[in-house]
């Protein structure tokens, strides 16, 4: 967003100032979602005065916010009238089925925001400044918010994950869905295989959200919930498939191995575990979103990380899995890491 012209060939501080001001981009988009700007743009283009009326906001605030969002490329402006771009119409207007605006609520949650305000302290200490066990503190209410608001970010990855997890399996199948959250992943497997039965594990308050989603998807009769810590609750089984979505990154490798052993014990011989993870390349600096995710784990957990495929394979092997393979999801920044119980 910067413009610090410099003599040709001379270094420019533009990237430094862009980075120092980047927090304003997040704040502006969150504010626009909160005042209902993208819903208002769905009623048609308008100038600042018209949009301010639709949002019950001030004209000065609306004009300045809309100009800023236009500079960011999120909306457009022509002859003083603002309009949706394809991006905002698709992903920010609540009338769109692909709208991801709700994710701003989880991403603006104090559990996420506060540690980033104290990041130097966290880098010095090497772990979160959140109380208790941080993000994975038992019954942390942030995960109810996650279950309510993050489904639209995860939805595009459900179908690929389901296909990979079910690959080659026909007929009745028992599926353990650990840290089910919104429940979308287990529900997708139940939709892809009409004889699949799902056992969902998460905190009780989170499972209420998952169960409501299972009901909406018409699979509630094949949907069992087991509230409690994934490290303590009885998994039942034996299962053929275990889903571990966005979960391992919260823990250090020994804790991951302990959990994977418990998962292994709940699987039939030849059963498989399918984790959905941010998996950076061995250089840990690519691809950008997977590599960047480690910082959120530094900020919010005691010892979590985005693990490379080699690190995950070592944990899987130690826990009794073989044939470990990584499957980048074409519709998102995640990778499905599959292992076979031996």
Contact positions with a second copy (CB under 8 A) in 47-86 = 55-65, 67-68, 70-74, 77, 86
What x-and-dash track marks residues 108-147 binding a second copy by CB under 8 A? -----x--xx-xx-xxxxxx--------------------
Which residue's CB is nearer to a second copy, number 120 or number 170? 120
112-148 residues labelled b (16+ CB within 10 A) or e (exposed): beebeeeeeebeeeeebebeeebbbeeebebbbbbbb
Least distance between a second copy and beta carbon 27 (Å)? 4
At 239, is the secondary structure helix, strand, or coil?
strand
Which residue's CB is nearer to a second copy, number 152 or number 339? 152
Least distance between a second copy and beta carbon 96 (Å)? 10
Q: How many CA atoms lie within 13 A of 92 on its CB side?
A: 24
Binding span for a second copy by CB under 8 A among 193-201, 222-230, 317-325, 327-335 = 327-335
Which residue's CB is nearer to a second copy, number 26 or number 325? 26
Collect all residues with Cβ–Cβ distance below 8 Å to 160 and sequence separation of at least 6: 327, 329, 330, 331, 336
Site for a second copy in 288-317 (CB under 8 A): 288-292, 294-298, 303, 305
What x-and-dash track marks residues 177-216 binding a second copy by CB under 8 A? ----------------------------------------
CA–CA distances in Å: residue 75 to residues 38, 152, 260: 9, 20, 45
CA 179/CA 248 separation, integer angstroms:
10
- Residue given tokens 């905002």 in the structure block: 88
Site for a second copy in 261-280 (CB under 8 A): 280
237: left (phi over 0), alpha (psi -120 to 50) or beta: left
């Amino acid at each position: 967003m910067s413009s610090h012209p410099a003599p040709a060939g001379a270094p420019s501080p533009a990237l430094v100032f862009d980075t120092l001001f980047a927090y304003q981009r997040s704040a502006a988009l969150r504010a626009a979602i909160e005042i209902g700007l993208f819903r208002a743009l769905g009623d048609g283009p308008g100038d600042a005065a018209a949009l301010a009326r639709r949002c019950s906001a001030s004209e000065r605030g609306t004009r300045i916010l809309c100009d800023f969002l236009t500079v960011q490329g999120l909306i457009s402006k022509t002859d003083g009238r603002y309009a949706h771009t394809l991006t905002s119409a698709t992903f920010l207007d609540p009338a769109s089925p692909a709208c991801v605006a709700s994710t701003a609520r989880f991403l603006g949650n104090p559990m996420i925001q506060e540690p980033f305000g104290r990041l130097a302290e966290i880098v010095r200490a090497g772990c979160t400044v959140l109380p208790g066990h941080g993000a994975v503190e038992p019954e942390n209410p942030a995960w109810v918010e996650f279950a309510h608001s993050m489904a639209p970010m995860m939805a595009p990855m459900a179908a690929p994950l389901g296909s990979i997890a079910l690959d080659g399996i026909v007929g009745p199948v028992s599926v353990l869905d650990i840290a089910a959250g919104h429940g979308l992943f287990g529900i997708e497997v139940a939709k892809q295989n009409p004889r699949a039965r799902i056992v969902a594990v998460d905190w009780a308050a989170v499972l209420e959200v998952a169960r409501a989603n299972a009901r909406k998807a018409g699979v509630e009769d094949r949907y069992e919930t087991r509230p409690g810590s994934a490290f303590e609750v009885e998994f039942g089984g034996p299962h053929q498939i275990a889903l571990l979505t966005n979960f391992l990154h919260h823990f250090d490798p020994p804790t991951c191995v302990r959990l994977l052993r418990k998962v292994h014990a709940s699987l039939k011989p030849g059963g498989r575990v399918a984790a959905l993870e941010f998996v950076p390349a061995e250089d840990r600096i690519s691809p950008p979103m997977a590599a960047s995710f480690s910082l959120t784990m530094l900020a919010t957990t005691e010892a979590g990380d985005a693990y490379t495929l080699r690190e995950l394979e070592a944990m899987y092997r130690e826990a009794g899995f073989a044939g470990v393979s990584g499957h980048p999801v074409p519709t998102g920044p995640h990778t499905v890491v599959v292992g076979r119980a031996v």
